[in-house]
Amino acid sequence: MENDSIVSFKDVSIEYRLKRFTLKAVNHASLEIKRGKITALVGESGSGKTTLASSLINCISEPGRVSAGQVVFHDEGKDIIVNELSPKELRKFRWEKVSMVFQAAQSALNPVSMVREQFYETFDEHGLKMTKEEKEQRCVKLLNYVKLDPERVLNSYPHELSGGMKQRVMIAFALLLRPKVIILDEPTTALDVITQNYIFTLLKKINKDFGISMLLMTHDISVVARFADYVCVMYGGELMEYGSVYQVFDKRAHPYTEGLIQSTPNLIEDIKAMKPIPGMAPNLLDMPKGCVFSPRCPYATDLCRTKAPETTHCEVGFGKCYLYEGTSENGRK
């Protein structure tokens, strides 16, 4: 659509077709990822964020399929509809335009070959004819950028690296073919807080130096607050709210967003102010009628429980709740 989005999810629905039933993981999601910015996709486990993000490289775990809508990548000049690419085009698209840093970096590398071999392999598979020195140089440069010792890392097998090192290797790996977008699936969940901070600072640096747009998935609100530019809140396979970080966190228009922020420990307020959201994440096989969040929402009305609300768009974002209706630009009525 506009020039300042690099990815558009247009009314995307993703489902898993199993033998006895079909599981709807993502339900009519429409989202714009702004060029050059860090967009965070926030939600509980099972909210569908990984599924949605992996549809960007059409790498949804089997047997998931994009059942409706389009995932559009706005390249220079032309638009690429990702879920309609042929396998050959898809292979080229992956990693060259969009790369991904997986959640379990622990097992994202081939355990039986050296790191160097896997780096080289990616160059070769994408048809880049480079000499050995050129490949080596590029790898060394990238590894230096993420503050790793290239000599040591390139000669190691994956299991010889620690968790933090492996994650940095994956980030360097993601930068290998100079993509325009990097998807990060909970990149620091398994790491300690110090390393976490380090990784995010590194990511912020990458975003500033190379202008790479990022789609960050996490369930940690505090991380979002510090590092993201835009945030999108997802629940039960549906997008609940979207806007700039300042706006969403300040206004807390959507009840779920409010609940998420309330349940995070706060340095300033009293610990008693921390309130977890009651109830459990919805069973995707047995979705509640009406608004997905209604069973757990403190403001829910009968209308909420019977009819799902429409998405209300405004200039700076959108939200999916009846509370939005009759709103001005600022959000809540």
Question: Binding to other proteins (CB under 8 A): which residues in 88-117?
Answer: 90-96, 99-100, 102, 104, 106-113
CB of 91 to other proteins, least distance (A): 4
Q: Quick check: helix, strand or coil at residue 203? A: helix
**How far apart are the C-alpha atoms of 162 and 51, rounded to whole Å?**
27
Residue 49 one-letter amino acid: K
194 near other proteins (CB under 8 A) = yes
314 near other proteins (CB under 8 A) = no
61 near other proteins (CB under 8 A) = yes
Q: Are 234 and 26 in contact (CB under 8 A)?
A: no
In the chain, which ranges are E strands? 5-17, 22-34, 38-42, 64-74, 79-81, 98-101, 181-185, 213-218, 230-235, 238-244, 312-314, 317-319
User: Of 57-65, 134-142, 230-238, 317-325, which part binds other proteins (CB under 8 A)?
Assistant: 57-65
**How far apart are the C-alpha atoms of 19 and 258, rounded to whole Å?**
38
User: Of 130-138, 151-159, 291-299, 313-321, which part binds other proteins (CB under 8 A)?
Assistant: 151-159
268 near other proteins (CB under 8 A) = no
Handedness of CA 61, 113, 174, 126 (dihedral sign): negative
19 near other proteins (CB under 8 A) = yes
Q: Is 261 exposed, middle or buried (0-12, 13-18, 19+ CB in 10 A)?
A: middle
Question: Binding to other proteins (CB under 8 A): which residues in 156-185?
Answer: 157, 159-160, 162, 164-165, 173
121 near other proteins (CB under 8 A) = yes
User: Of 118-126, 241-249, 296-304, 323-331, which part binds other proteins (CB under 8 A)?
Assistant: 118-126
Total residues at interface with other proteins (CB under 8 A)? 43
